[in-house]
A and B are shown apart, each in its own frame.
Chain A
Amino acid sequence: MTYFTSKEQAVDVFKRLFTILLEDEEFTSRMRAADLTLRLIQTKPDLELYIDPEGIKVDADTGSAIINIKMSCDTAHALWSGKLLMPVALATGRVRVRGSVAKVLEFVPLLQPAFDRYPKIAEQAGVAAA
């Protein structure tokens, strides 16, 4: 099933999700302390988000980040909705990460608020529940 009806809808949802995370001072200070940058490469519809403590860039030609995560938008929707478990998504290759695994392990717990906030964001944008 394709949950996103347009690229604009997908950009809106995922950009809003990470904007909320960046508003959390603990999140941004941990990113700064670990010198973390994140590049989300999402497909179907295709979009790229580059996230650093200063903000979010969409489809910018930023090159590689410290952590690069590739998945489809539907997989991202299932993941953030809590319908797909992260270890399973990673182990089955539905989510592919390139970059220091040590940094990823440090980063994943910081994403916890995203799981709490995502369902509401998706619902407000008119995305069907996963």
Chain B
Amino acid sequence: MTTTPAVLDPVAPGTLTPELEKLRLEVRAFAQDYVRPRVARNDHAEADDFDWELVRQGHDLGLLRLVVPKQYGGLGYGVLGVAVALEELAAVCAGTALIFGATLLGQAPVLLSGDPKLQQQYLPLFNAADPVLACNAVTEDLAGCDLLIPENAPYAADVLSARRVGDNYVLNGRKRFITNGKVAHFASVYGNVEGFPGATGLTCFMVSLDAEGVTRGAVADKMGYRACLGSELAFTDLVVSADQVVGGEGNGLIVNLQQMNMARATVAAISTGIARGAFDLAKGFAAERIQGGAPLHRHQFTARKLAEMTTKIDASRLMYLRAAHLADNEIPAPSYEPAAAKLFADRIAIEVAQEAMSIMGARGYLREHGIEKFVRESFGARIYEGTPEVLAIAITEALYAQEDDD
């Protein structure tokens, strides 16, 4: 019988590098001391209200340049650093975490481009005195996973068009549900080059959102993640220079997939944070609430629930740490581990948040206790950066993939 030697994961709780452990504690303190007092206000605010002061404080801490290489003024923590930070933020407010997470997505194509000119143009912006946000514009009214799954690309309908005119492209079309779209300085925008059916000519463009031809549309009125703004972006005869193309014309699907594999570990971290935030409330309640002469956690039914919840959170954290570690050490980033981490984390966030609400009984149903916000937000990550159905395709494709170096 042949045995496969066990591979020990070098990244596990308690074994983060001293730098990452320091980052985790700094972000935890920021989340507890600065974000927490603003959570209710930002959650109950109008949909298009945006807390720039919160972003400014996060920027001062370095949250917008965690993944930016040091030579461009960044902190160079990689995807692992972003993931660790986002769990801490999401344990208090997932919407706040996503403001910073969406910026990573907008930065990713520039990082992946290997193009010193693009990197010099965009990356030092995140080290300026004032905060700069970025975003990633993929989703459209009629096209979501058609822009993610290569087999679907020929059938994509009504995709934002890019017409080549000399050394420029002219973009026309609309993007929807773009996190940070209302407030970002620039975006990676995916458009289909004219002449290619569906999205088979999909191309990634770096676009200034203050350029003539860009209109920032209405902010979506979401059930959760209200601290960050998701909006429409409209492009009307927007002229983009060909040197703002990432990865070459027609290679947008490839760039997008690579971006997703970088980002999914960080979304899994947000879901882990949501689960942790809900669990912490339930754990505290189960220690204080006396029934039958003993605190709730002494009762076997509740003890079993708490044990299952904390075990799921631990497992989820280990999976996202592994995925982020691999994303920092392999190019192309693996598709299996980030997708599996996100699939699991998104599911357990919903399960743990709902269980936490049930432990808290009537108090869990009241807004003032904060559990209902975690329940609302637990459903968000199931949708963005890959639904469970899209993740299942990525996971099974990885299972059957053959390594081929031509």
Residues of chain A whose beta carbon lies under 8 Å from any beta carbon of chain B = 43, 70-72, 74-75, 85-88, 90-102, 104-106, 108-109, 112
Q: How far is the CB of B38 from chain A (nearest CB, A)?
A: 32
Q: How far is the CB of A14 from chain B (nearest CB, A)?
A: 16
CA distance A108 to B111 in the complex (A): 11
Q: Which residues of B contact A98 (CB under 8 A)?
A: 329-330
Report yes or no: B254 in contact with A88, Cβ–Cβ below 8 A. Answer: yes
> When each residue 15-43 of chain B gets 1 if its CB lies under 8 Å from chain A and 0 otherwise, what string results?
00000000000000000000000000000
Report yes or no: B330 in contact with A87, Cβ–Cβ below 8 A. Answer: no
> When each residue 48-75 of chain B gets 1 if its CB lies under 8 Å from chain A and 0 otherwise, what string results?
0000000000000000000001110000
* B residues contacting the other copy or chain, number (CB 8 A): 30
> When each residue 215-257 of chain B gets 1 if its CB lies under 8 Å from chain A and 0 otherwise, what string results?
0000000000000000000000000000000111001001101
Residues of chain B whose beta carbon lies under 8 Å from any beta carbon of chain A = 69-71, 76, 78-79, 111-114, 116, 119, 246-248, 251, 254-255, 257-258, 327-332, 403-406
Q: Which residue of B lies closest to A110 (CB)?
A: B116
| Further contacts, 13 of them, CB under 8 A, given A74-B406, A105-B69 | A43-B405, A85-B247, A87-B114, A87-B247, A91-B247, A91-B254, A97-B330, A97-B331, A99-B329, A100-B328, A101-B330, A102-B70, A105-B114
Q: Which of B76, B79, B112, B405 contacts A96 (CB 8 A)?
A: B405
CA distance A84 to B342 in the complex (A): 32
Q: Which residues of A contact B331 (CB under 8 A)?
A: 90, 95-97, 101, 104
Q: List 10 A-B contacts (CB under 8 A).
A: A86-B114, A87-B247, A90-B258, A91-B247, A91-B332, A96-B332, A97-B331, A98-B329, A102-B328, A109-B116
Q: How far is the CB of B366 from chain A (nearest CB, A)?
A: 45
CA distance A92 to B247 in the complex (A): 11
Report yes or no: A75 in contact with B406, Cβ–Cβ below 8 A. Answer: yes
Q: Which residues of B contact A101 (CB under 8 A)?
A: 78-79, 327-331
Q: Which residues of A contact B78 (CB under 8 A)?
A: 100-102
Report yes or no: B332 in contact with A93, Cβ–Cβ below 8 A. Answer: yes
CA distance A74 to B404 in the complex (A): 13
Q: Which residue of B lies closest to A111 (CB)?
A: B114
Q: Which residues of B contact A87 (CB under 8 A)?
A: 112-114, 246-248, 251, 254-255, 258
Report yes or no: A112 in contact with B330, Cβ–Cβ below 8 A. Answer: no
Q: Which residues of A contact B405 (CB under 8 A)?
A: 43, 70-72, 75, 93-94, 96
Q: Which residues of A contact B330 (CB under 8 A)?
A: 96-98, 101
CA distance A70 to B406 in the complex (A): 11
Report yes or no: A91 in contact with B114, Cβ–Cβ below 8 A. Answer: no
Q: Which residues of A contact B112 (CB under 8 A)?
A: 87, 90-91
Q: How far is the CB of B48 from chain A (nearest CB, A)?
A: 35
Report yes or no: A108 in contact with B254, Cβ–Cβ below 8 A. Answer: no
CA distance A96 to B334 in the complex (A): 11
Q: Which residues of A contact B119 (CB under 8 A)?
A: 109
CA distance A100 to B328 in the complex (A): 6
CA distance A87 to B116 in the complex (A): 13
Q: Which of B76, B111, B403, B406 contacts A72 (CB 8 A)?
A: B406
Q: Provided the pairs A85-B248, A102-B78 are in contact, do residues A109 and B114 lie with their beta carbons within 8 angstroms?
A: yes
CA distance A96 to B69 in the complex (A): 20
CA distance A43 to B406 in the complex (A): 9
Report yes or no: A88 in contact with B251, Cβ–Cβ below 8 A. Answer: yes
Report yes or no: A85 in contact with B76, Cβ–Cβ below 8 A. Answer: no
Residue in A70, A87, A94, A109 with the greatest tally of chain B CB atoms within 10 Å: A87
Q: How far is the CB of A126 from chain B (nearest CB, A)?
A: 22
Q: Which 9 A-B pairs have the closest CB atoms?
A: A87-B247, A97-B331, A109-B116, A91-B254, A91-B258, A108-B114, A85-B248, A86-B114, A90-B331
Q: Which residue of A lies closest to B109 (CB)?
A: A87
CA distance A93 to B403 in the complex (A): 9
Q: Provided the pairs A75-B405, A87-B113, A87-B251 are in contact, do residues A92 and B69 lie with their beta carbons within 8 angstroms?
A: no
Q: Which residues of A contact B254 (CB under 8 A)?
A: 87-88, 91-92
CA distance A74 to B71 in the complex (A): 32
Q: How far is the CB of A91 from chain B (nearest CB, A)?
A: 4
Q: Which residues of A contact B248 (CB under 8 A)?
A: 85, 87-88
Q: Which residues of A contact B113 (CB under 8 A)?
A: 87
CA distance A93 to B261 in the complex (A): 13
Q: Provided the pairs A87-B246, A87-B255 are in contact, do residues A94 and B406 lie with their beta carbons within 8 angstroms?
A: yes
Q: How far is the CB of A95 from chain B (nearest CB, A)?
A: 8
Q: Which residues of A contact B71 (CB under 8 A)?
A: 106
Report yes or no: B327 in contact with A92, Cβ–Cβ below 8 A. Answer: no
Q: Which residues of B contact A43 (CB under 8 A)?
A: 405
